[in-house]
Amino acid sequence: MKKDTQSELRFATRAIHAGQEPDASTGAVVIPIHPSSTFLFDAPGKPGAYEYSRTQNPTRAALEECIASLEGGSRAVAFSSGCAAMMAVLNLLVAGDHVVAGDQLYGGALRLFKHLIEPRGIAFEHVDTRNVGNIMAAIRPNTRMVWVETPTNPVMRIVDIQETARITKGCGVWFVVDNTFATPYFQRPLELGADIVVESSTKYFGGHSDLVGGVCAVNDARLGERLAFYQNAAGAVPSPFDCWLQLRGIKTLHVRMERHAANALKVASFLEKHPRVARVYYPGLRSSPQYATARKQMSGFGGMVSFEVRGTDRDAMRVASATKVFMLAESLGGVESLIEHAATMTHAKISKPERARGGLAETLIRLSVGIEDAADLVADLDRALGVLSKRKGKRRR
């Protein structure tokens, strides 16, 4: 499908066709996997369309064109992991720069900030980005970037993208949004004013827990060139096979996201009424304090749900270990449902005081709600939460 016709088509059609013309040599309707590391030159000093797979690869090019179309951007740059994509963006900074970042972020992002970027002489200031006034107040003359997630990992805080973009554009700083939880199907930060979108394509883009990847998308050509230069120079590129898997996953992204969100709402609604649950975090609940903001910028609320068990951290671990359909594992975004105790799994390397400052309770459980039958998922959680009632009953005896 030619680029000049893509804007006329809706998301689901572009997910299947953008960047994916039938193979010219064979007529194959599925993009081939091009494992070749090198390509034929037309003459000395005159490469063809491709020359070396670290720099360019036909399968990766198809993936990048497709993702750029879905994100509403002019260019996408694919990487070997979400962390590699984040590192490419952070490499835009130089010593003396200052970054305003959310106080609720993916643990891998915080690890990059603290151990790889701060030693370069770059300062980070973490604020509660639910209030854009906090972002404005934190910006200094040397601030170069504002970095947020929305929804955040793992307590699903919502950042007003349009209002934040208004501030960053007025101050002349880059605005980066990690859009992994929402995906471009439910939220397109570039269209709302962000400068860079980062996503872990390991998650919903792939959708089947069988690849690792990351991507950046932009609307600014010069910014795209800088990210592509880093991609080539650092060499953190995905394999052609992983690019092909991502393209295959993206074809069903719109279908899967609808089911993820429908199931997540049913699970969150069940948890909200359960006596052993103290609090539920899901932006699609009308009881959510940020429901209005989420609805303003999202067309759906995603498949991630977190909740706090009424009890102790040990009680939360017991519940997380008691499910049969939800599998005890990190990561998210696959067709299968996953459950984790955040304080001892994905956020274990973050200190307890830091977790507390970010609103992450020791009793918090994070769910990646899959596309199974919602009734089975609810029944599974009901049984798992029942272990707490049984324990309480034994104590009475």
Residue 248 amino acid letter: R
Residues contacting 244, CB < 8 A, separation 6+: 31, 33, 59, 63
Q: List the structure tokens of 253.
A: 């992204």
How far from 239 is each of 66, 72, 197, 264, CA to CA, in Å?
17, 24, 21, 32
Q: What is the mean pLDDT of residues 248-269?
A: 98
pTM of the model: 0.94
Residue appearing with tokens 């707490």 = 388
Residues contacting 354, CB < 8 A, separation 6+: none
Reported as a single tens digit per residue, the pLDDT across 370-380 is 999 999 999 99
What is the model's pLDDT at position 4?
58
369-395 in b/e burial notation, b at 16+ Cβ within 10 A?
bbbbebeebbebbeebbeebeeeeeee
Reported as a single tens digit per residue, the pLDDT across 228-255 is 999 999 999 999 999 999 999 999 999 9
Residue 292 amino acid letter: A
Residues contacting 220, CB < 8 A, separation 6+: 74, 195
Residue 311: left (phi > 0), alpha (psi -120 to 50), or beta?
left
> 146 forms bridges with which residues in the sheet?
100, 175
Q: Decide which of 7 and 352 is more confident.
A: 352
- Domains of the chain in start order, with CATH, are 3-250 (3.40.640.10), 254-396 (3.90.1150.10)
What is the model's pLDDT at position 3?
63
123 φ, ψ to 5°? -100, 145
Q: What percent of the chain has pLDDT over 70?
A: 96
Query: What are the DSSP E strand ranges found in 186-283?
Result: 196-199, 214-218, 277-281
Cβ burial, residue 48 (10 Å; 0-12/13-18/19+): exposed
Q: List the structure tokens of 157.
A: 């805080």
Q: What is the mean pLDDT of residues 140-165?
A: 97
CA dihedral for 223, 177, 86, 11, sign (positive or negative): negative
> 280 forms bridges with which residues in the sheet?
307
In angstroms, rounded to a whole number, what is the distance separating the alpha carbons of residues 289 and 62?
A: 40
In angstroms, rounded to a whole number, what is the distance separating the alpha carbons of residues 149 and 156?
A: 9
What is the model's pLDDT at position 395?
44
Name which of 266-275, 286-295, 340-349 the model is least confident about. 340-349
Q: List the structure tokens of 282.
A: 């899901």
What is the model's pLDDT at position 2?
61
Query: What are the DSSP E strand ranges found in the chain?
Result: 41-43, 46-47, 75-79, 98-102, 123-127, 143-149, 174-178, 196-199, 214-218, 277-281, 304-309, 327-328, 338-341, 364-368
Whether the predicted pLDDT of 396 surpasses 60: no
- The β-bridge relationship of strands 174-178 and 143-149 is parallel
Residue pair 127/159 in contact (Cβ under 8 Å)? The answer is no
- The β-bridge relationship of strands 123-127 and 75-79 is unpaired
Name which of 21-25, 52-56, 308-312 the model is least confident about. 21-25
Q: Which residues have a catalytic role annotated?
A: 54, 106, 178, 203
The Cβ-side half-sphere exposure at 110, using a 13 Å CA radius, reads 20
Reported as a single tens digit per residue, the pLDDT across 320-338 is 999 999 999 999 999 999 9
In angstroms, rounded to a whole number, what is the distance separating the alpha carbons of residues 86 and 106?
A: 11
Which of these, 236, 157, 152, 148, lies nearest to 192 by C-alpha position? 148
